[in-house]
Chain A
Amino acid sequence: MIKADTNTVLPNIPLRKKPWRLRIRPYLILLPSMAVLLGILYPFITAIYYSFTDISFRSTTYKFIGLGNWLGMFTSADFWHAILVTLEYSLSVIVLEMVIGMILALLLNNDKWYSKVLNVVLIFPLMVAPVIGCLIWSLMTNNTFGLMEKFLNIFGVYGFPWGASSQTALLYVIMIDVWINTPFVLLLLRAGLQGLPKSPFEAAKIDGGSAWFNFRRLTLPLLKPVIMIALIFRSVAALQEFAIIYSTTKGGPGNTLTNLSLLAYQTAFPYSNLSKGIPMIMVLWIIINFASKRMVGVYNQTRQS
């Protein structure tokens, strides 16, 4: 009979080094993405370098000037105003889209006929390129023949300024942004809702409790990871929003809607002050970097529970 030996110690066989062909494989696989990374890093690093010079389209030479551009930026009122606009815009847009998206996702999370129709139709604004969307809106709000204008006429309001007045311009672009991007939040949250386990909700049905109670105590905590994802995407996009504002008012009237992205573009290109525009974009990058890191941290926490 074969005896089993229960006290073996593994022999110490030295491991052979893998042939170089095998060792190099991981790096080869990574090569394409490294190339893309370099493609992104190169302009990024040169841009940082340029921000310490006086480069502009006005001349073919440039020289190093140290912190001049940076200091000038921090002491310019336009810059701080742009930060204010950036924050105003992104906070309003994010809050509105998350709330409306959540409400719609909850309302349309069933098999009724109107849910089937609306879940498809409501995605359409997302499929339109933002610039085209703004064009559609500017046609709709045209004071002579626009649909919105005719609609407001019913209530006796004529010639509503939309993007032309500094009081209403912010509302106008926020409205367009919400129209374009709420479907995105809706899609994510619906997917999240459908992925939730069904039986706790049946138990909650028996336990009794108003819809709001169940939502607050059961649905919301379960949805935290998905909510964080939607929040991260929307925040990163809203902080650097360019297309919508540029296509509607180019940042006007005055500098009402000039957020950091627009100010940086304006300074660098039409005003030909490339080296002055770079610090602004860098500040935007720092803000977004910081914000998204914090949010990803929160997201990881929600995954653990």
Chain B
Amino acid sequence: MAENLVLKNLYKKYDTNGKKKQAKEQPWAVHDLNLEMEQGTFVSILGPSGCGKSTTLRMIAGLESITQGSIFMGEQDISSLHPKDRNIGLAFEDYALYPPLTVYENIAFCLRAKKVPGEEIDRRVREIAKTMKVEELLDSKVSGLSGGQKQRVNIARALVRHPKVLLLDEPLSHLDGKMRQILRGEIKRLHHEIKCTTILVTHDQMEAISLADYIAVMKLGVLQQYGTPDEIYNDPANAFVAGFIGDPPMNLLRVKVVEDASYTYAFELGDGSLLRVPEKFYRVIHTGDVFDLGIRPTSITIVEGEEYDARFKVDLFEFLGEERSVGIQINESLLNIVYNDNRRFAEGDIIHIRVNPDLLFLFEPESGERVRPR
């Protein structure tokens, strides 16, 4: 069997130094996580702060103990192995470079620790330095490097030992815009070159979507959805995933199903306006049901003609360079529409909109579960 990385029923609770009562009240940092990652794929663990993604990564690395469950690499159970024996490479969020040493020594550290002979150390260090484009920096001290350079050295250090799994902990979060883009491209190129199983932890969904083959979305320690970027974007499993992915974020509005003379079924929005219910939902709704309706700002078109699905009054208009944004206040929420032609609207203008029915999503109000059309 290929060297797939499998997480089985992983649980993690943080230690409270033996105080039993406190331990009972602690929340689970990771709760029943099951994940299988094929060898050579690029997986991203995505989620907001506190969702357990870094904890999971550290458990894979061996820096955190596993409360329950196990981790397999291929056939081998690595759950209780020492980090240095797990064949993984970890690139830390804060780079964690060795301050007193030069770049060369930082990369060579693990090879020296394993007592690899001098010429081989030199060859491998220079090889990886070339890959990560840090050759000129080999003799510099790490304290003088810029963020981007440090990150490259960080990754170089993780790779020099030819790990089976490369772990990246929020690699781009401390870099500025331009550097972020550059390094993102580097990581993508790197993955094509080396084809090593890579796990990237991030809270930035753009990063995840652009780099990963598969994305695991987590919230409060629980896995929400595991799928390709396309699936996550276009077929979210629940309201959380739907709202988290996509920039600008999806509009989620509370609606009630009503019967209407002109439409048969309509969604009644908070401010009373009505939106026609697409036919595909007829079989799953009843009058009086309450749902959360999800629609991306880019899926709403503002039309001129008589054919429209709803009409609203403009409350906010923003000029965003490439795009324009119109905001409509509905009770406390804002319905956001984004388009990219030159029309301008002023506050108070009445607009007509059309919605692509394929791009409408329905979610249960309490659980957030997706209501799929039948």
- Report B-chain residues with C-beta under 8 Å of the C-beta of A222: 99-100
Bound CA span A202–B99, Å: 14
* Stretch from A19-27, A131-139, A209-217 that touches the partner: A209-217
Whether, in the assembled complex, B334 has its beta carbon less than 8 Å from a beta carbon of chain A, the answer is no
Residue in B closest to A214 when the chains form the complex, CB atoms? B113
Interface bits B175-209 vs A (CB < 8 Å: 1, else 0): 00000000000000000000000000000000000
Closest A residue to B113 by beta carbon equals A209
Asked if A305 lies at the interface with its beta carbon under 8 angstroms from chain B, I say yes
Task: For the complex formed, measure the closest distance between the CB of B86 and the CB atoms of chain A, giving whole angstroms.
Answer: 8
**List of B residues within 8 angstroms of A210 by Cβ:** 113
Residues of the A chain whose Cβ atoms lie less than 8 Å from the Cβ of B143 = 305
> CA A197 – CA B100 in complex, angstroms?
12
Q: How far is the CB of A109 from chain B (nearest CB, A)?
A: 17
A253 proximity list for chain B (CB < 8 A): none
Q: Which residue of B lies closest to A201 (CB)?
A: B96
Give the chain B neighbours of A207 by CB distance below 8 A: 84, 109-110, 113, 157, 161
**CA–CA, A224 to B101, complex, Å?**
13
Q: Is B257 at the interface (CB under 8 A from chain A)? A: no
How far is the CB of B297 from the nearest CB of chain A, in Å?
Answer: 36
- Give chain A interface residues in 132-161, CB to chain B under 8 Å: none
Rounded to whole Å, the gap between the CB of A300 and the closest CB of chain B is 16
Q: Is A208 an interface residue (CB 8 A)?
A: yes
Q: B62 and A200: CB pair below 8 A? A: no
Asked whether B114 lies within 8 Å of A206 as measured between CB atoms, the reply is no
Q: Which residues of A contact B113 (CB under 8 A)?
A: 204, 207-210, 213-214
Contact partners of A291 in chain B: CB under 8 A: none
For the complex, give the distance between the alpha carbons of A3 and B100 in Å. 52
Min CB gap B147→A, angstroms: 15
- Contact in complex: A206, B98 (CB < 8 Å): no
List residues of chain B with CB within 8 A of the CB of A208. 82-85, 110, 113-114
For residue A68, which residues in chain B have a CB less than 8 angstroms away from its CB? Answer: none
B97–A200 CB distance below 8 A: yes
Residue from the list B17, B83, B105, B141 in contact with A205, Cβ < 8 A: B83
Q: Pick from B85, B92, B109: contact of A209, CB below 8 A.
A: B109
Most buried by B among A111, A199, A207, A224: A207
Q: Is the CB of A203 within 8 A of B92?
A: yes
Partner of B90, one of A111, A203, A213, A214: A203
User: Which B residues touch A111, using CB under 8 A?
Assistant: 17
User: Judging by beta carbons under 8 Å apart, are A218 and B83 in contact?
Assistant: no
| A204 cross-chain contacts in B, Cβ below 8 A | 98, 109, 113
Q: Chain A residues near B141 (CB, 8 Å)?
A: 305
Contact with A along B85-112 (1 / 0, CB 8 A): 1001110101111111100010001101
Bound complex: CA of A305 vs CA of B143, how far in Å? 8
B61 CB-CB contact with A under 8 Å = yes
Q: How far is the CA of A208 from the CA of B90 in the complex (A)?
A: 12
Closest partner residue, chain B, to A213 (CB atom): B113
Given contacts A209-B113, A213-B113, whether A203 and B98 have CB atoms under 8 Å apart is yes
Residue pair A202, B96 in contact (C-beta under 8 Å): yes
The yes or no answer to A221 lying at the interface (CB within 8 A) is: yes
In the complex, which of the residues A197, A203, A213, A224 contacts B157, with contact meaning CB atoms closer than 8 Å? Answer: A203
Mark contacts of B60-97 with chain A using CB atoms, 8 A cut-off: 1 yes-contact digit, 0 otherwise.
01110000000000000000001111001110101111
- A213 contacts across to B, CB distance below 8 A: 112-113
**Pick from A200, A205, A224, A305: contact of B98, CB under 8 Å:** A200
Report A-chain residues with C-beta under 8 Å of the C-beta of B61. Answer: 206
Let me know if A199 and B96 touch, CB within 8 A: yes
Residues of chain A within 8 A of B105, CB atoms compared: 217
Q: Is the CB of B94 within 8 A of A199?
A: yes
Q: Which residue of A lies closest to B111 (CB)?
A: A207
Give the B-binding residues of A (Cβ under 8 A): 111, 197, 199-200, 202-210, 213-214, 217-218, 221-222, 224, 305
* A and B contact pairs by CB, cutoff 8 A, 21 listed: A199-B96, A200-B97, A200-B98, A202-B96, A203-B92, A203-B157, A204-B98, A205-B62, A205-B63, A205-B83, A206-B110, A207-B84, A207-B109, A208-B85, A209-B112, A209-B114, A210-B113, A214-B113, A217-B98, A217-B101, A218-B100
Closest 5 CB pairs of A and B: A208-B84, A209-B113, A207-B110, A221-B100, A199-B96
